Amino acid sequence: MYCFNKEIENSRISTEDIDINENALRLFDHKDWKLIYTYVHRFLHVSGMERNKLTNQVASLLLSKLDINVQQLNTRQEEDLLLSLYLNLKEEWDFEL
C-alpha cells in the first residue's frame, strides 16, 4: 500500500482529476470496485508491456462507463484517470473491505 500512496503523492492525483458526479458513481458496482482495487494494488508491481496491457483492459472496462474514449488516451493518461477513479470509488466502497 505504501508504494501506491507514494505513486499518488508523486503524481499529485486527486479525486478532482476525473469528472465524476453522484449519478456517475452509481454506475459502478461492487464488482467494479473489486476490479479497480485489485488493479491499483498490482499495477506498480507489473512492468512494461504487461502493465500497459493491464491498464488498457481495466481502462476500457471502467472508463467507458463515464463515456471516456480510451482510444484517445495514452497509457499514462489512462493510469492517472484510473487512480483518480479509484480515489473516488474508495470514498464510496472502502468501508466494505
Q: For residues 66 and 18, is the Cβ–Cβ distance under 8 A?
A: yes
65 and 28 Cβ atoms separated by less than 8 Å:
yes
Domain that holds residue 73: 2-96
Counted domains in the chain: 1
Structure confidence by residue, pLDDT tens digits, 74-94: 999 999 999 999 999 998 887
* pLDDT of 7: 66
- Model pTM? 0.86
Q: Which has the closest alpha carbon to 25: 90, 91, 71, 89? A: 89
The tens digit of pLDDT for each residue in 46-79 reads 989 999 999 999 999 999 999 999 999 999 999 9
Residue 97 has pLDDT above 50, yes or no: no
Each residue's pLDDT tens digit, 13-28: 888 888 888 899 999 9
